[in-house]
Amino acid sequence: MLKRKVAFLLALAISVFMTADAFAQRALLLSYDGKVQTYKGSVLTLKLNGETVSSDVPPIIMSDRTLVPVRALFEKLGAEVRWDARSQKMHIKFEGADIEFKANDINAKVNGKAVKMDLSAKKINNRLMIPVTFMGKQLGMRVNFNSKDSIVTVDQNSNLKGVEHSKYGGGDRVLLNFDRYRDYTVIRITDPDRIVVDLPYTCSEAKDKEKKLDVDGTLVESVRYIQYDKTNTRVVIDTIGQPQYSIEEKKGQLALLVESPTYKNLIYSNYGDRVGFVLKGANLTNDDENPKKLYTEKYDPGTGRYVLTFPNNLADLGNGVFKINDGLLNTVAISRDNKSGKTTMTFNQKDKFFYEILSRPEVNDTAITLLKPASKTERLVVIDAGHGGREPGAIYKGMYEKDINLDIAVKLNSLLKSKKIKTYMIRDDDRYVSLYERARIANDLNAKLFLSIHNNAIDDPDYGGTMTLYRPGSLKGYSLTAKRFAEIIQNALLSKLKTTDRKTIERPNLVVLKRTNMTASLAEIAFMTNKNDMANLQTDSFRQKAAAALCDAVIQALKEVN
């Protein structure tokens, strides 16, 4: 009688596993551990690679772990599945791996090696169930749980089978071939210019070693790809300039089309701290010293769009959508309307930025810099590597001051960051930045300190040493004067470099000192025209010591900043 009662209850339990509606609308009777128990928790839908996995026992939650039916899941994956009733073991052959689960055992075996699961395998209503996390931890699959819709998803890794290049119209076509793919992200990166396709949960033949296609492209120089960790592959398309691109999706294929842009005269940079555009031949302000806006701007917080509008005669940018998707901007749409005589640039942002827009008459362009001002509590230090681009600074014995300045600045930036000090580099490569631009960027950022790094030159080869320049007077709201900051810098440099002391010197008319709103100083590390100083500047160790001295000075100055 008792056996018949248990059989009846088991039949009843199995009968409720008929439809999703039945799962959702009633409690389940589950037979496991020698008992029939009422299950009132969430009943889930299991999806593999986007398709629903059917099973007479649905995924359930037990001990805060999601259990899924082994046979239904692995057979959907195309695996060979065999149950041994005597040993209560499930044997699976899947993609060259031998996998074994045993009822009531927390350890599974993969190719004979025991691996611990989050929960023991359970035989429930005669179906072996395992924690779904096994699929992710041991097989590298992607596992997600959607609590809102009660769905657990398991996605297999894709396999990138090959990469091809061909010329396409006036541009190039890069074809990615897969067995399957689900997700991808396309990002534009600059300096050097390239388009990056990230393929999550995708394996490739180029595991841990980059493969490169040297191509005879119109707008593409080369195509590189690598599987850089267990489940992620990256494809890099090295481009000539900053062309337009589009994606065509087909089953098992992604085609990236690289085409000549319909926009023109703009260059984007997202390398390092300095992010923004240079508009060639554009004049959106009437001056760089006391600039007047010749444009209108509008920010829409609802859409996150910043819109810049100006007369067509101030810039010729063409039309088109400049795709970026780099974490800062999604796109910049350019529309030139000949009827209204106006051009509109629509920046589709991923965050809110302050836009510093300044024409630079000396190079006939306009720079647009995207900035995130520091909060009142942040102690931001702006590092200014003197000169750059078309302005080399002093030149002596084949060495350019701009390069020495930049090397010391980069070293200083690394040291300060290692000490958790927030920094911003005016330039971290060989680019032109106007003097007024440097000061305006520092002001827009609400920096606490501004440090400009230079080296000296003079007609007298016997004159060498270190000096630090500052603007006289004090700033309202700042307890640390520029003079005191200069003294801290000078003392630190002399202590580490053992150079001749050329003192701290008032320089009230230097643009980067007089136009900055925070405590600012300019360090002249050494004289390139002095034999001993130049010999020192040519060594990496001396430049590293200079950076270390400036780091010490900044730390001390920040302690004294109000």
Write down the domain spans for the chain.
2-155, 158-259, 274-370, 381-560
387-416: average pLDDT: 97
Is pLDDT of 235 > 90?
A: yes
23 pLDDT tier (thresholds 50, 70, 90)? very low
The pLDDT assigned to 470 comes to: 98
Spell out the CATH class of 274-370: mainly beta
pLDDT of res. 21:
41
CATH of 381-560, one of 1.20.1250.20, 3.40.630.40, 3.30.429.10, 3.40.630.30: 3.40.630.40
| CATH 3.30.457.10 applies to domain 2-155 | yes
Read off the pLDDT band of 422 (50, 70, 90).
very high
pTM attached to this predicted model:
0.82
Phi first, then psi: give them for residue 456, nearest 5 degrees: -105, 165
| pLDDT over 80 at 8, yes or no | no
Averaged pLDDT, 37-66: 92
Alpha helices in 173-258 (DSSP H): none
| Residue 71: band (very low, low, confident or very high) from pLDDT cuts 50, 70, 90 | very high
Q: Which of 82-91, 197-206, 339-348 has the lowest mean pLDDT?
A: 197-206
Contacts of the segment 9-16: beta carbons below 8 A, 24+ positions apart: 9/36, 10/36, 10/125, 13/125, 14/56, 14/125
pLDDT above 90 covers a percentage of the chain that reads 84
pLDDT for 38 beyond 50:
yes
**Do 158-259 and 274-370 agree at the fold level?**
yes
Q: Write out pLDDT tens, residues 150-201.
A: 999 999 888 999 999 999 999 999 999 998 877 899 999 999 999 999 999 8
pLDDT at 231: 81
**Residue 131's closest CA among 42, 66, 69?**
66
State the virtual CA torsion across 311, 315, 318, 322 in degrees, nearest 10. Answer: -110
Pairing of strands 449-456, 381-385: parallel
Task: Identify the pLDDT of residue 477.
Answer: 78
Q: What is the pLDDT of residue 310?
A: 98
What is the widest separation between alpha-carbon atoms in the chain?
114
Res. 25: pLDDT tops 50: no
- What pLDDT was estimated at residue 414? 98
The pLDDT-based confidence of 97 (bands split at 50, 70, 90) is very high
Q: Is the dihedral of CA 412, 416, 417, 423 positive or negative?
A: negative
Q: Per-residue pLDDT for 11 more than 50?
A: no
Task: Please say if the pLDDT value at position 69 is more than 80.
Answer: yes
Sheet of strand 211-214: strand arrangement: 185-189, 194-200, 232-239, 220-227, 211-214
Please report which confidence band the pLDDT of residue 18 belongs to, taking 50, 70 and 90 as the band edges.
Answer: very low
pLDDT of residue 526: 98
pLDDT given for residue 17 in this prediction: 37
Given this model, what pLDDT does residue 7 score?
A: 42
Helix, coil or strand: residue 24: helix
Q: Which of 8-17, 95-104, 419-428 has the lowest mean pLDDT?
A: 8-17
Which tens digit of pLDDT belongs to each residue from 274-315?
Answer: 999 999 999 999 977 889 999 999 999 888 899 999 999 999
pLDDT at 147: 87
pLDDT of residue 24: 45
pLDDT in the model for residue 227: 94
How large a percentage of the chain has pLDDT more than 70? 95
- The length of the chain in residues reads 562
- Whether the per-residue pLDDT at 19 is higher than 60: the answer is no
Position 339 pLDDT exceeds 60: yes
* pLDDT above 70: residue 26: no
pLDDT tens digits, 488-541: 999 999 999 999 999 999 999 999 999 999 999 999 999 999 999 999 999 999
Sheet with strand 80-84: strands edge to edge: 80-84, 89-94, 97-102, 107-110, 113-116
Indicate if the pLDDT at residue 128 is higher than 50. Answer: yes
Pick the CATH number of 158-259 from 3.40.50.450, 2.60.40.3500, 1.10.1040.10, 2.60.120.590: 2.60.40.3500
Q: Which two tokens stand for residue 355?
A: 């836009």
* pLDDT at 264 (0 to 100): 97
Record the tokens describing residue 523, joined without a space: 């360090």
Confidence (pLDDT) at 22: 41
Taking all residues of the chain, what is their mean pLDDT, rounded to a whole number? 92
